[in-house]
Chain A
């Protein structure tokens, strides 16, 4: 891999190799000193054009655990505010001598543009509504740890604003390649405009599919969707699609609940569910570091096996 821009660019074997690598990184993180000098002398820059706390800290922690130097460039403090173009910013940073750029941007394809302009490896840390590949990988990693090596046959429902979700686009591509059956759940206005050729089923009724699911993956629905005539009210949305304790009780005994964050406890997902036995939400965050270590190691490491 030269860059990690999109799950759509990866096949099952490549995904599994990254997940296997992440297992190894998780072992490292479990040691007394959770750090290896694998990327000593390498520099990883976070280029974040959109607010993010968890993804940025997760990548930076991953880079530091591998001994890389890190730099951070966020919108609030940068020359972007002074009108510098994405091209100039990317080239300026590259001129400082960096090995990898972790790019988050509110516009789809921004990391692809950067990858075309610089020699450094580019990791997509979320681009607009397009993709968020490391999120999909860390979710797959988390599920694998609970369900064994593959996701074959697992029924995963993605519930919520799929249309505007980069997490959903990467998740669908990643989990389908690993053998899962994905169902999109939500009102028609929050489904992608066109689903021809997508390897998914669609349901507008969560209660209808609830008892068949192995995983309920909850996406946030933003207040601003109301102004776009996509929803009449959040109250109505939560009544139909909220993960309540009553719904949790109807799920299969071993069904799991996931959320990419940030989440709204309460109507979107009941506190009892978040903190209950089905929830993988905290594990998702913890596993993010191991998966991102594996990605960085694959992109800019020496290629050999870690010791």
Chain B
């Protein structure tokens, strides 16, 4: 592999910010300095006016493989993620079959070996995601799995959740992540329960389905000393619960998805299922609370819940379409447009929520992701043009599916280059492989 020089950019990482060129050699950062001589034969990545940052890390994606390859594959999903600046992702285990078995996990990891970003997986908490018996957490941990979740479904049984917390204490670096929606309270529901669901006659999923589960799980984390992560947190009440629990020293982290700090339940009035997801789009007050949670660090990470669905499954009435939307190719731009441009959050905090903080939650820092852009660290990097304006065109996404709610939106900020283990996998917005 030839040397790579990233020239003319501003390096922004957890350690600080500085104007610097970056020399990448043999998969690692070799030198960071204000002005580097150009080694002969080196590939130059222009970063004039750009930000050079640790590669982004998305700890909640659905790549649909195995089982629903018509919607996405590890190949298409990881290419989309790399174009979104991601160098590592955690793929959720609600595949068919689910990732509750070492052989299936090993096969998925093998499939991801050729991907243009690191594809890791979360393992199921329970067998078959049925919420009753523990999945082989230890065997999956041996394969490198650190995040355990039944995402898509909530572990509703309090005792099963308690035992999962306890058992995982023996598995270093592991975390129990919850899709926090009480299944009994959301049964039959398709959107946030509130003014709009009442008006549209669409059965609702109350925000209390999230806050009651988060309150209970925080109590169990306190009881067991277990590590808890709230996936795609969407309500003001749950955010407040996590804020208080953190102050008290409970081992809890939380993530929010771009849709939950950008869009509201009012979008559902179009009856277009592109706005259908679980947890559902909430109220203006919830959106404001999620933003404040990101600002004060209560919410550690931005994760996309990238959930591709084949077009025909969204060409249905709202109540009949599956929940979920695309995210990996738009997450950075939506965050820059909605959080950084209006001056709500500094760029570096947003990059922290998109890179080093999620990397630590999922143990991906140990695999070289989210680390400062410093000599000796693995070269997993992205180069962002923060001023580039573009319009989201679903047809131009690398994902196999088209279900983005941001179609037609003008966003500010685009990933220009992505470097994985020293190799430029995206250059000037185009995939190299």
Contacts and interface: CB of A to CB of B under 8 A. Distances in A.
A128 to B, nearest CB: 6
Nearest to B191: A108
Contacts of B312: 85, 87
Interface stretch (B59-67, B315-323, B332-340, B348-356): B315-323
A130 B272 CA distance: 15
A128 B201 contact: yes
A112 B316 CA distance: 11
Nearest to B203: A129
Interface residues on A, range: 20 to 34
A130 B317 contact: no
Contacts of A128: 201-202, 317, 319
Contacts of B201: 108, 127-131, 166, 169
Contacts of B320: 86, 107
Contacts of A86: 315-317, 320
B204 to A, nearest CB: 6
A192 B201 CA distance: 9
Contacts of A85: 312, 315-316
B58 interface: no
B158 interface: no
A193 interface: yes
Contacts, number: 73
Interface of A: 85-88, 105-110, 112-113, 127-131, 166, 169, 192-198
9 contacts: A107-B316, A109-B317, A112-B270, A113-B271, A113-B316, A131-B201, A193-B194, A194-B193, A198-B198
Interface residues of B, number: 22
Interface in B299-328: 312, 315-320
A113 B318 CA distance: 9
Contacts of B202: 108-109, 128-130
B426 to A, nearest CB: 34
Interface in B198-249: 198-204, 206
A113 B198 contact: no
B195 interface: yes
B401 to A, nearest CB: 15
Given A107-B316, A129-B202, 8 more contacts: A85-B312, A86-B315, A109-B317, A113-B272, A127-B317, A128-B317, A194-B193, A194-B197
B317 A108 contact: yes
Nearest to B317: A107
A262 to B, nearest CB: 20
